Amino acid sequence: MKSEGLEIYTPEGVPFSLPLAGAGTRLVALVVDLLAILALGGLVFSALKAFEAAAPDAIGGIVTLVYFVLSTAYGIVLEIWWNGQTLGKRLLGLRVMDCHARPATATQIVVRNLLRPVDSIPVFYLAGAIACWLTRHRQRLGDLAAGTVVVRTQESLRADWSQLTRAKFNSLREHPALAARLRQRTAPELAALALDAVLRREELSPDARLAVFAALAARLRTLVEFPAHAVESLSDEQYVHRAVEVLYSTSRVT
Amino acid sequence: MILDLDRFVRDGEPLWQALDQQLTHLEKHPYSTIGVPDLERLHALYQRASSDLLRVRTLHSEARLRTYLENLVSRAYTAIHGVTEQRRFSPLSWLLQHFPRAVRRHSGALALSMALFWGGAALGAILLVLLFEDRATLFPFAGLEAKPSERVKRETIERSKMVSAQTGRFSAHLIQNNTRVAIFTFALGMTYGVGPTVLLFSNGVYLGAVAMDYIKDGQTIFLLGWLLPHGVIELPAIILAGQAAFLLTGALLPRGRRSPLAQRLREISPDALAIMGGVAVMLLWAGIVEAFFSQYHEPVIPYAVKIAFGVGQLAALVAFLKLAGSHEK
Average pLDDT, chain B: 84
- Give residue B86's identity as a one-letter amino acid code: Q
Q: Is residue B329 part of a domain?
A: no
Q: Is residue B249 part of a domain?
A: yes
- Tell whether B1 is within 8 A of chain A (Cβ): yes
Range B72-76 average pLDDT: 87
Angle between helices B220-252 and B261-289 (to 10 degrees): 160
Cβ of B78 within 8 Å of Cβ of A64? The answer is no
Q: Is residue B328 part of a domain?
A: no
Q: Is residue B102 part of a domain?
A: yes
Residues B175 and B28 in one domain: no
Q: Is residue B229 part of a domain?
A: yes
Residues B35 and B135 in one domain: no
Residues B103 and B223 in one domain: yes
pLDDT of residue B9: 78
Residues B44 and B174 in one domain: no
Contact indicator for A48, A63 with CB cutoff of 8 Å: yes
CA A61 to chain B, closest CA, distance in angstroms equals 4
Element (H, E) at B285: helix B261-289
At B239-249, the pLDDT tens digits run 999 999 999 99
- Tell whether B88 is within 8 A of chain A (Cβ): no
- Tell whether B279 is within 8 A of chain A (Cβ): no
Cβ of A14 within 8 Å of Cβ of B191? The answer is no
- Tell whether B307 is within 8 A of chain A (Cβ): no
- Tell whether B115 is within 8 A of chain A (Cβ): no
Closest Cβ opposite residue A102 in set B83, B167, B248: B83
At A152-165, the pLDDT tens digits run 886 544 445 455 44
CA A164 to chain B, closest CA, distance in angstroms equals 9
Q: Is residue A3 pLDDT above 70, yes or no?
A: no
Predicted ipTM of the assembly: 0.80
In this predicted structure, which of B7-11, B113-117, B193-197 has the lowest mean pLDDT? B7-11
- CB < 8 Å to A96, chain B: none
Calculate what percentage of chain A has a pLDDT beyond 70: 90
d(CA B200, CA B237): 12
pLDDT of residue A232: 79
At B12-43, the pLDDT tens digits run 888 888 888 888 888 777 777 778 888 888 88
Cβ of A249 within 8 Å of Cβ of B63? The answer is no
Residues B27 and B162 in one domain: no
pLDDT of residue B78: 83
Read off the pLDDT band of B105 (50, 70, 90).
very high
pLDDT of residue B254: 81
Whole domain around residue B13: which residue ranges?
Answer: 5-81
Count of alpha carbons within 13 angstroms of residue B221, beta-carbon side:
6
At B155-177, the pLDDT tens digits run 776 655 555 566 677 778 888 88
- Tell whether B130 is within 8 A of chain A (Cβ): no
- Tell whether B257 is within 8 A of chain A (Cβ): no
Contact indicator for A142, A119 with CB cutoff of 8 Å: yes
At B184-214, the pLDDT tens digits run 999 999 999 999 999 999 999 989 998 998 8
Read off the pLDDT band of A166 (50, 70, 90).
very low
**A234 bridge partner residues:** none
CA B5 to chain A, closest CA, distance in angstroms equals 6
What is the number of CB-based contacts under 8 A between chain A and chain B?
179
- CB < 8 Å to B288, chain A: none
Residues B117 and B165 in one domain: yes
- CB < 8 Å to A12, chain B: 47, 50
Residues B76 and B132 in one domain: no
pLDDT of residue B3: 60
3-state helix, strand, coil in chain B (%, to 5): 80, 0, 20
CA B315 to chain A, closest CA, distance in angstroms equals 29
Residues B171 and B319 in one domain: yes
Range A189-217 average pLDDT: 85
pLDDT of residue A185: 85
At A14-32, the pLDDT tens digits run 888 888 988 888 999 999 9
Contact indicator for B317, B228 with CB cutoff of 8 Å: no
Cα angle at A222 between A218 and A223, to 5 degrees? 125
Range B59-68 average pLDDT: 67
How many domains, in total, are found in chain B?
2
Residues B256 and B295 in one domain: yes
Cβ of B2 within 8 Å of Cβ of A247? The answer is yes
Q: Is residue B152 part of a domain?
A: yes
Q: Is residue B30 part of a domain?
A: yes
Residues B153 and B278 in one domain: yes
From B81, B109, B144, the end of a domain falls on B81
CA A163 to chain B, closest CA, distance in angstroms equals 11
pLDDT of residue B77: 87
Q: Is residue B318 part of a domain?
A: yes
- Tell whether B64 is within 8 A of chain A (Cβ): yes
B84 vs B235 pLDDT, higher one: B235
From B81, B108, B143, the end of a domain falls on B81
Mutation pick from A8, A57, A70 vs chain B, by most beta carbons of B within 10 Å, is A57
Residues B53 and B188 in one domain: no
Cβ of B172 within 8 Å of Cβ of A61? The answer is yes
A43 vs B147 pLDDT, higher one: A43
Helix (H, G, I), strand (E, B) or coil at A9: strand
Q: Is residue A252 pLDDT above 50, yes or no?
A: no
Cβ of A147 within 8 Å of Cβ of B4? The answer is no
Contact indicator for A107, B270 with CB cutoff of 8 Å: yes
Residue of A nearest to B249 (CA): A145
Contact indicator for A245, A187 with CB cutoff of 8 Å: no
Residue of B nearest to A147 (CA): B262
What pairing do the DSSP bridges indicate for beta strands A148-152 and A15-19? Answer: unpaired
Element (H, E) at B161: helix B160-165
CA B100 to chain A, closest CA, distance in angstroms equals 18
Cβ of B3 within 8 Å of Cβ of A248? The answer is yes
Contact indicator for A29, A23 with CB cutoff of 8 Å: no
Residues B15 and B95 in one domain: no
Helix (H, G, I), strand (E, B) or coil at A22: coil
Angle between helices A206-223 and A188-199 (to 10 degrees): 150
- Tell whether B188 is within 8 A of chain A (Cβ): yes
Range A243-254 average pLDDT: 63
Mutation pick from B54, B269, B290 vs chain A, by most beta carbons of A within 10 Å, is B269
pLDDT of residue A229: 84
Closest Cβ opposite residue A118 in set B59, B61, B188: B188
B65 vs B273 pLDDT, higher one: B273
Helix (H, G, I), strand (E, B) or coil at B126: helix
pLDDT of residue B161: 58
Instruction: Kindly calculate the radius of gyration of chain B based on its CA atoms and give it in whole angstroms.
Output: 29
pLDDT of residue B29: 77
pLDDT of residue A87: 94
What pairing do the DSSP bridges indicate for beta strands A94-98 and A5-9? Answer: unpaired
Cβ of B5 within 8 Å of Cβ of A161? The answer is yes
At A46-85, the pLDDT tens digits run 888 878 777 777 788 888 888 888 988 999 999 998 888 9
Range A143-156 average pLDDT: 83
Q: Is residue B312 pLDDT above 80, yes or no?
A: yes
